[in-house]
């Protein structure tokens, strides 16, 4: 297979798409790219002048975790945006973004730890560095479209480090949650009651550590996220069988996986990143693809840029909602050859 780049947009990142319209972030600015290709401003998040100024230079923006980190367009047209320390909301009728939630721990949830279920409830899972495991880590839910949030589940201090993802399963109509980072903290959970209680599906090794899932009718797919803190532990593309209730290892990859998604035609994509760990095979971020979930091919790769890891790992992210698109949307960060912060739209061809 090969990749055909259709569009490239520098200095912005793709956060959410429905296959026709894509929401982008450029520093604190939210932009809508319509199916026609037209770009129009949605709004600028209300942050102070100093943060606006600092966000203009990429190393400071990434090092200080400034800008828009996450976004979700609600079914009624309201928009939720995550910036450092808070969730902001703009109503379906437009107007200004306003803060609706401030995070009690950490700067922001992981990218895939924000989700919306089929009933319009909004969820996010807490993410903190929490190196000494002194902080309880919670899951929060909004029952009014993201206007107010309440804590609905909490891990006691010392149980886990943080929540990696929280996703709604369109096939089983349930929630899935992943945690990390030590072997005993790497867990996959499932909930059928809107996040109030959780069934442990698997745990105990780095193969259960992931930053997100891709769903098909028969399987849950993910790439393992054994990072620079795991020594020489290898990383793999794996899947969990809904029917057999077992974990299958499919492919060893070059480094920790920072992205996974599926396209509308069932094509699966996984990206590896560069953290500088001993378990990385090379100093490149890789893009992997499969049409059937069985056979995987490398599609592209990029070298790490010259900026230190403290500013930004070398990663490739996919926007929310990619399963609604037949085209591949992705954003590169911390990579060379124009991949510092660049949004791509591409087509995947079979050779």
Distance of alpha carbon 47 from alpha carbon 53, whole angstroms: 10
10-residue mean pLDDT series, the chain (351 residues): 94 95 93 91 75 54 72 96 96 94 96 97 97 97 98 98 98 98 98 98 98 98 96 97 98 98 98 96 96 97 84 91 97 82 94 77
- What per-residue confidence (pLDDT) applies to 49? 52
Name the nearest CA neighbour of 338 among 290, 312, 308, 303.
303
pLDDT recorded at residue 311: 72
Which residues, including other chains, have CB under 8 Å from residue 46's CB and lie 6 or more apart?
88, 96, 97, 98
Give the torsion sign (CA, 149, 110, 42, 75).
negative
3-state SS, 215-283, equals ECCCEEEEECCCCCCCCCCCEEEEEEECCCCCEEEEEEECCCEEEEEECCCCCEEEEECECCCCCCCCC
Residue given tokens 């930004």 in the structure block: 312
Of 68, 90, 88, 67, the residue nearest 79 (C-alpha): 90
Picking from 9, 34, 116, the residue whose alpha carbon sits closest to that of residue 73 is 116
Hey, what are 145's tokens? 């479209």
Q: What is the pLDDT of residue 61?
A: 57
Residue 23: its H or E element: strand 22-26
DSSP letter assigned to residue 207: G
| Lookup result for tokens 């839910």 | 141
Q: Which pLDDT score, from 0 to 100, does residue 340 have? A: 67
Question: Scanning the structure block, which residue is given the tokens 């296959």?
Answer: 19
Q: Give 311's contacts (C-beta < 8 A, 6+ positions apart).
A: 59, 62, 63, 334
Spatial distance between the Cα atoms of 131 and 211, rounded to a whole number of angstroms: 18
Say what the alpha-carbon torsion angle 302, 307, 312, 314 is, to the nearest 10 degrees.
10
Residue written as token pair 């939630």 = 101
pLDDT of residue 302: 94
pLDDT at 62: 60
Token digits for 138? 């919670």
Give the pLDDT score at 63: 60
Report all structural domains of the chain as residue ranges with CATH numbers, in order of start.
Answer: 2-14+18-349 (2.130.10.10)
pLDDT value for 46:
78
């Amino acid at each position: 297979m090969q990749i055909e780049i259709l569009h490239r947009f520098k200095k912005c990142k793709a956060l959410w798409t429905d296959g026709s319209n894509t929401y982008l972030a450029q520093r604190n600015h939210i932009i809508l790219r319509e199916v026609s290709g037209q770009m129009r401003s949605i709004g600028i998040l209300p942050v102070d002048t100093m943060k606006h100024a600092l966000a203009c230079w990429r190393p400071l923006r990434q090092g200080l975790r400034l800008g828009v980190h996450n976004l979700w367009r609600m079914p009624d047209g309201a928009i939720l945006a995550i910036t450092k320390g808070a969730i902001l909301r703009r109503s379906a009728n437009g107007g200004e973004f306003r803060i609706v939630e401030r995070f009690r721990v950490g700067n922001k949830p992981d990218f895939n730890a924000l989700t919306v279920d089929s009933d319009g409830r909004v969820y996010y899972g807490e993410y903190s560095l929490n190196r000494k495991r002194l902080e309880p880590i919670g899951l929060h839910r909004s029952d009014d479209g993201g206007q107010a949030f309440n804590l609905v589940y909490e891990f006691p201090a010392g149980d886990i480090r943080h929540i990696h993802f929280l996703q709604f399963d369109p096939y089983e109509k349930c929630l899935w949650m992943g945690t990390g980072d030590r072997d005993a903290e790497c867990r996959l959970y499932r909930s059928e009651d809107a996040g109030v209680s959780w069934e442990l599906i698997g745990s105990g090794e780095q193969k259960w550590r992931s930053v997100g899932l891709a769903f098909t009718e028969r399987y849950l797919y993910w790439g393992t996220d054994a990072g620079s803190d795991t020594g020489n532990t290898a990383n793999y593309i794996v899947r969990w069988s809904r029917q057999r209730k077992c974990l299958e290892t499919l492919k060893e990859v070059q480094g920790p996986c920072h992205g996974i998604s599926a396209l509308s035609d069932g094509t699966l994509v996984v990206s590896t990143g560069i953290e500088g760990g001993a378990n990385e095979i090379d100093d490149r971020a890789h893009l992997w693809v499969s049409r059937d979930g069985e056979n995987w091919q490398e599609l592209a790769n990029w070298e790490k840029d010259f900026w230190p890891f403290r500013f930004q790992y070398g990663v490739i992210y996919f926007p929310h909602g990619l399963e609604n698109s037949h085209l591949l949307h992705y954003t590169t960060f911390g990579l060379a050859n124009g991949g510092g912060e660049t949004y791509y739209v591409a087509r995947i061809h079979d050779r």
